Amino acid sequence: MSRAESFEIVTYTAAQIKDWIEGGKGESLLPGIIARCRARAVAANPYTRAEDPLVAAVKIAGSHRAVAYTAAFPELLGGERYWWFSTLWCDREYRGLGLPLAAVGSLAEIYGPDHCLDTMGASETVEIFKYLGHSTTHFDEYRFGRKPDKHSTLGKLLSLKERIVADVRPLCPSARRLSNIGGYTLEYCNRVDNPTYAFIKQHTGADLFVREQPIFDWILNYPFKHRTPLMQRVADGGLFGDADQRYWISGVKVMVGSTLVGFYIIRDSVSDLSVKYLYYDDNHSAEVFASIAQHILALRNPCFTTRCAPLAQYIGRMGLFSKQTVNHISFSYPSSFHLPKDYTTQAGDGDCFV
Amino acid sequence: MDSPTRNSISNTIQELSRKVFDNPSLTISDSMGPNDIPGWTSLTFTQLLTEIETTFNFKFKIFEIIKMQTIGGIVDVTTQHVSQQ
């Protein structure tokens, strides 16, 4: 039986989204279409212009109800703006009608399909981008889970500390005198300064995307508020609420003495740690990987995700997890987009992080 | 009364639907939609559009997609394109 409703496609510009976030004009337009935190994130992208459409929604004609929407954000690659599609949603009741395709297609028409990229991963999104003329490839992402139970945790901790020290000591003579894990120090940052960015560019290896410095600063300075201040206080007080829903994004420099040997961006919550970007000096991989293992140890029953194969091998050898899987993450790209042989990607590529 | 062109287009779309929805005995009607045809999902809907475009040599406009909630809607839009060729 056919539906009685008719639909319309509506797009929202960066300027309209900012107005909505700030509580001004357009107050009735966007609730239920996109969360404020995500809207704030995409609108704050350093390559966004006020007139850029960032969100497309399919609404029931004559109403404010959105039944499908998509959002995208720009990135400068090789001097040209490309658009990552970062979210796609369709009301369960309205699936099968091509509404997500209509939402994506409406933005792709404006951006130019040759400048649209997607790594959202669902088979439906792959089909949508195939319809738009894209090709799809896949890359591996390593996921670890099921940390050993409490009875073995202490033993694992002790053996891990010995293992980390053993990894570090041969490389750093001064570390032999240390009784704790050492040989390196960590500096947390919310900006990528020029020396760090120079290090990143030097150690991008075969990465398909070399991120611009403003993009890193954008990622590290998202406003990640997922609750009202009251709910946040309640969650902090431990009365009720799920603290596991909170997460942080941190930039971490790994220093051996005064020398930067590694930089990574991690997204971590109480139960999940994901290495979104990782750049390191091959001669100091032990220190860098050990520092990431330290972060894992600090979490309660975490899952861990990385796209760096050497790091995954290291974590696997550590025995911190009982389960490891390899997910094949899709990447849809236009035919004009050149994929070099043996390229690598970072887990943060195309991720809106929200 | 339906024009012969619409009827023949509808018959062709029925054949394409049988292939996409993997049902050789499927018989379509204008009122049918996602709830009436087993296997009709977002993915198979997109695949059906691709098959129609390839068969009739045109591209659907994005705004037309939201008009095609039923087989009848799909046939109507396809017929408009074919008649303009």
What CATH number did the domain enclosing A126 receive? 3.40.630.30
Residue B1 clears pLDDT 80, i.e. is over it: no
Q: Do B68 and A109 touch (CB under 8 A)?
A: no
CB atoms within 10 A of CB A21: 17
Q: Closest Cα to residue B17, out of B4, B30, B3, B2?
A: B30
DSSP annotation of A27: T
Reported ipTM: the value is: 0.89
**A39 and A176 both lie in a single domain:** no
Distances (CA, A) of A90 to A42, A59, A112, A309: 19, 11, 23, 34
Q: Do A98 and B65 touch (CB under 8 A)?
A: yes
Specify if A347 maps to a domain. Answer: no
**What are the chain B neighbours of A99 within 8 Å (beta carbons)?**
65-66
Residue B50 in contact with partner chain A when CB distance is under 8 A: yes
**A40 and A121 both lie in a single domain:** yes
- Number of residues that make up chain A: 354
DSSP annotation of A149: P
**Considering the entire predicted model, what is its pTM?**
0.82
Burial call A2-20: b when 16+ CB within 10 Å, e when fewer: eeeeebebbbbbbbbbbbb
Q: What is the pLDDT of residues B8-44, one digit of tens each?
A: 999 999 999 999 999 999 999 999 999 999 999 988 9
From first to last of its 354 residues, what are the pLDDT tens digits of chain A? 455 689 999 999 999 888 888 776 555 566 677 777 777 777 888 999 999 999 999 999 988 888 999 999 999 888 889 999 988 999 989 999 999 999 999 999 999 999 999 988 788 899 999 999 999 999 899 999 975 554 444 445 555 555 554 454 444 444 333 334 458 899 999 899 999 999 999 999 889 888 899 999 988 887 554 444 444 444 454 434 344 456 778 899 999 999 999 999 998 877 789 999 999 999 999 999 999 998 888 777 779 999 999 999 999 998 888 899 999 989 999 988 888 888 888 988 888 776
Q: Do B66 and A102 touch (CB under 8 A)?
A: yes
> What pLDDT, on the 0 to 100 scale, is given for residue A224?
54
Q: Is A264 left (phi over 0), alpha (psi -120 to 50) or beta?
A: beta
The CATH number that applies at residue A289 is 3.40.630
CATH 3.40.50.150 fits B4-83, yes or no: no
**Domain spans in chain B, listed from the N-terminal domain onward:** 4-83
Specify if A327 maps to a domain. Answer: yes
**A128 and A161 both lie in a single domain:** no
**Domain stops at, among A133, A162, A190:** A133
**Domain stops at, among A133, A164, A197:** A133
**A260 and A163 both lie in a single domain:** yes
Q: Do B62 and A105 touch (CB under 8 A)?
A: yes
**A63 and A20 both lie in a single domain:** yes
**A240 and A164 both lie in a single domain:** yes
Residue B51 in contact with partner chain A when CB distance is under 8 A: no
**A127 and A145 both lie in a single domain:** no
Q: Which residue has the tokens 């009875």?
A: A151
Q: Closest Cα to residue A249, out of A282, A280, A226?
A: A226
Domain count, chain A: 2
Please tell me which of the candidates A7, A97, A124 has its beta carbon nearest to residue B43: A124
DSSP states of B32-84: --TTTSTT--HHHHHHHHHHHHHHHT----HHHHTT-SSHHHHHHHHHHHHHT
Its domain, for residue A73, covers: 7-133
Residue B49 in contact with partner chain A when CB distance is under 8 A: yes
Pick among B47, B69, B77 to test the A interface (most A CBs inside 10 A): B69
Residue of B nearest to A57 (CA): B66
